[in-house]
Amino acid sequence: MGMSNYQDLTDRSIALINDGRWDEAFDELKRKEAENDRDAIAVLAQFYLYGVGIAKDIEMALELFNRAISLGSPDAAWELGLLYHHNDEVVPVNKYKAVELFEKGAQGGNESCYGVLSECYLRGDGTSVDEKKAFEYALMAAKAGNSMGMLNAAICYDDGLGTNPDTYAASHWYKEYLNYSPDDDFAMLRIALCMADPYERYVIRATGDALNEAFYYASKAVEKGNVEAHLIVGWFYEKGEIVPQDFDLAHKYIEIAANHGNEVAQRHLQDFRKNIYGNYYIPGF
């Protein structure tokens, strides 16, 4: 996606300010404001909002944001929506108003609005829960390169929220999301669950390649301290999938999960027994 005029003006203003030429940045924005340039008005609102080179003036900032929105600025709708969503130092928090503004921004093509709306409709934040809308906005955001949209699209495909369950599509978007948040152990775990199906939730027959990938992501999640991932790695050793069957290692990982409160692991530990050599086994396995 190309850079928007709003972002171009913002970057240019920041560059001028960093170069000690604040007056040039301000004068350029004021000239464009007089021409009813919606993007310049939205950037100028930020000057007043944060007191960039001038006295902070919240009332003027809000007036400029609303003026830019009336001229069709999706970026102003996004910025003002964020203020209503969580910045009570500027305006009283009003999440319903925030969603209304995000909708306006989305209608104008603001990709960040797609992402946050997917979250709002998925969680019922400032609006009623609407899984279909959540999925639609998530997919729009994901395809535009928005990381929040990627995560929510993956969750929707994974859990069948607003769309049919699709473990392949879920795995794809979890992986795309990890390009932006490489330390997210939740996404790592979910990829492992989608590809190995250890709980037989999806009723799929995992291939060797899928199991290899699942073990890789589960192991990465273990490195990050994810509790449930310990249970999944234990499952691999218990079943002898991809790795040699090893009940001692299976017990070790499952016990870690159990000790951290995972109820499935706690129940499963009761299935293990020790033989006369002190090694773990599961009767009848």
Mean pLDDT, the chain, rounded, equals 95
Indicate whether 1 pLDDT > 80. no
Task: Answer for the pair 72, 95: CB distance below 8 angstroms, yes or no.
Answer: no
CA-wise closest residue to 171 among 159, 154, 186: 154
Q: Identify the DSSP state of 206.
A: -
DSSP codes of every residue in 230-255: HHHHHHHHHHTSSS---HHHHHHHHH
Q: Identify the DSSP state of 127.
A: S
pLDDT at 90: 87
Q: Identify the DSSP state of 260.
A: T
pLDDT at 196: 94
For residue range 173-218, list pLDDT tens digits in order. 999 999 999 999 999 999 999 999 998 888 888 888 999 999 999 9
Note the pTM of the prediction, 2 decimals. 0.89
Tell me the CATH class for 185-285. Answer: mainly alpha
Average pLDDT score over residue span 127-140: 98
Average pLDDT score over residue span 88-115: 95
